Amino acid sequence: MTTATCSVLGTLPDGRAVHTWRLAAAGISAEVLTLGAALNAVRCPDRDGHLADVVLSPREPADRYNAARYLGAVVGRYANRIAGGRLPTADGPVALRPNENGHTLHGGPDGYDLRLWEARPVGSGTGVELRLLSPDGDQGFPGALEITVRYTLDDSGALTIEYAATTDAPTCVNLTNHAYFNLASGTDDTVLDHELHVAADHYTPVDAELIPLPGAPRPVAGTPFDLTSPRRLGDLVNAPDEQLRLGGGGFDHNWALRPGAAEPRTAAVLRHPGTGRTLECLTTEPGLQVYTGNHFSGSFTDAGTGRPVQRHGGIALETQHFPNSPHRPDYPSPWITPDRPYRSTTVYRFGVS
> pLDDT by residue (tens digit) across 6-54?
999 988 888 999 999 999 998 899 999 999 999 999 999 999 999 999 9
List pLDDT tens digits, range 309-333. 999 999 999 999 999 999 999 999 9
Q: Please give the Cα distance from 183 to 117 (Å, whole number).
A: 28
Average pLDDT, the chain: 96
Under DSSP, is residue 230 helix (H, G, I), strand (E, B) or coil?
A: coil
3-class state of residue 39 by DSSP: strand
DSSP type of residue 45? E
The H or E element spanning position 243 is: helix 242-246
Catalytic residue status for 280: no
Amino acid at site 335: W
**Cα–Cα distance between 233 and 251 in angstroms, integer?**
9
Residue 157 confidence (pLDDT): 87
Residue 202 annotated as catalytic: no
Confirm if 153 and 2 have CB atoms less than 8 A apart.
yes
Task: Please answer whether residues 115 and 36 qualify as being in contact, where contact means their C-beta atoms are separated by less than 8 angstroms.
Answer: yes
Q: Which amino acid is at 136?
A: D
Which among 178, 194, 272, 321 is annotated as catalytic?
A: 178
Query: Is beta strand 17-25 parallel, antiparallel or unpaired with respect to 3-11?
Result: antiparallel
Q: Give pLDDT, residue 186.
A: 79
The Cα 211–Cα 328 span in angstroms is 11
In 3D space, the residue among 60, 106, 75 whose CA is nearest the CA of residue 309 turns out to be 60
**Contact yes or no for 211/103 (Cβ under 8 A):** yes
What residues does 278 pair with on adjacent strands? 271, 351
CATH level 2 (architecture), domain 3-352: Distorted Sandwich (2.70)
From the centroid of its chain, how far is CA 83?
20
Please state whether the predicted TM-score (pTM) of the whole model is above 0.95.
Answer: yes
Question: What pLDDT digit, counting tens, does each position of 179-225 carry?
Answer: 999 999 878 899 999 999 999 999 999 999 999 999 999 999 999 99
Question: What percentage of residues in the chain have a pLDDT greater than 90?
Answer: 91
List CB contacts of 215: < 8 A, sequence separation 6 or more.
none
**Distance between CA atoms of residues 218 and 202, nearest Å:** 5
- What is the number of residues in the chain? 353
**Among the options 129, 162, 280, 318, which is catalytic?**
318
Decide if 178 contacts 73 (C-beta within 8 A). Answer: yes
Q: Could you tell me which residues are beta bridge partners of residue 348? A: 159, 281
DSSP 322: P
Q: pLDDT per residue over 116-141, tens digit each?
A: 999 999 976 689 999 999 999 999 99
Residues 6+ apart with CB under 8 A from 55: 39, 40, 41, 42, 72, 179, 180, 181, 304
Phi–psi pair at 184, nearest 5 degrees:
-75, -35
